[in-house]
Amino acid sequence: MRIGELSRSSGVPVPTIKYYLREGLLPAGELTSPNQAHYGPRHERRLRLIRALLDVGGLSLAGIGEVLEVMDDPEQPVHKVLGIAADGVTPAGREEEAGPDLEEARREVAELLLRRGWHADEWGPAAESLAGVLAALRRAGHGGYIGLLDAYADAAEPVARADLDYVQRRVAREDLVESVVVGTVLGEAMFGALRRLAHIDVSFRRFESPRNLSGPVDPEGSRAAGDGGGRGAGAAAGGAEPEPVG
């Protein structure tokens, strides 16, 4: 197909596609005449991936370029691709200054790995990234939050297993590698959104629901109350979020 069709099928404007081509994010089309290029399903797929990483994953174009480069290099092991994709999600400038806070945080991460029997390099970027978070929590006066580390790790284990289950269904390297990238980046966004929804639910149950005077607390009942539009049983006080609708 020509660039105009690629634009229509992907919803990405032609100038943007041209920009991606110039930046090397999208492989060049096949030249069918000196100034006419032909694009195929591979381009469509790549374009969809770029948009997903950009819009939902929040990666920068530079970060996407790095991810695509390792993805396209068959010599690169899959875990390397995963690492680069994960680094892309990690906010920039997370470089922590060395100091006693960071030293202590690194010790805590090493202890965590040992305690959980996790085979992961305590000096690798993921461990460093965690140490950076712990150091920042302590510096922000919220060292107590570190007490949640094992509750979080308990949750991260089944999520990681589910991710790997998904990835392992792929056979061809290209598919496998793409699913690693998508899973790493969009999986992070998916968990973030679910955690927010769960926060809303837990807040509702703890702070709002005791005033359910009209009957037993059951999801159906309160959902029905919410439906009625009152701020009674179902209503999020202070109106956090409009009510659940059945």
d(CA 239, CA 80): 45
Residues facing residue 178 across a β-bridge:
none
Residues numbered 121 to 180 that lie near its own copies (CB under 8 A) are 121-127, 129-130, 132-134, 136-137, 139-142, 144-145, 147-149, 151-164, 166, 168-169, 178-179
Would you give the binding string for its own copies spanning residues 201-230, x where CB under 8 A is met? xxxxxx--x---------x--xx--x----
CB of 54 to its own copies, least distance (A): 7
Regarding 34 and contact with its own copies (CB under 8 A), the answer is no
d(CA 3, CA 15): 10
* Start-end of H helices in 90-141: 100-116, 125-139
Would you give the binding string for its own copies spanning residues 43-72, x where CB under 8 A is met? --x--xx-xx-xxxxx--------------
Q: 18 vs 195, which CB is nearer to its own copies?
A: 195
- Burial category of 134 from C-beta neighbours within 10 Å (exposed 0-12, middle 13-18, buried 19 and up): buried
Q: Which of 40, 173, 193, 214 binds its own copies (CB under 8 A)?
A: 193
Q: 31 vs 155, which CB is nearer to its own copies?
A: 155
On whether the CB atoms of residues 218 and 226 are closer than 8 A, the answer is: no
On whether the CB atoms of residues 152 and 159 are closer than 8 A, the answer is: no
Task: Report the candidate in 189, 181, 167, 180 with the shortest Cα–Cα distance to residue 57.
Answer: 189
CA-to-CA dists, residue 223 to 55, 61, 207, 212, angstroms: 33, 43, 16, 12
CB of 18 to its own copies, least distance (A): 20
Would you give the binding string for its own copies spanning residues 94-113, x where CB under 8 A is met? x-xx------------x--x
CB of 34 to its own copies, least distance (A): 33
Regarding 84 and contact with its own copies (CB under 8 A), the answer is no
Q: 33 vs 79, which CB is nearer to its own copies?
A: 79
Q: Which of 14, 196, 211, 230 binds its own copies (CB under 8 A)?
A: 196
CB of 239 to its own copies, least distance (A): 8
d(CA 55, CA 111): 36
Regarding 92 and contact with its own copies (CB under 8 A), the answer is yes
- Burial category of 230 from C-beta neighbours within 10 Å (exposed 0-12, middle 13-18, buried 19 and up): exposed
Q: 29 vs 88, which CB is nearer to its own copies?
A: 88
d(CA 8, CA 47): 12
Regarding 39 and contact with its own copies (CB under 8 A), the answer is no
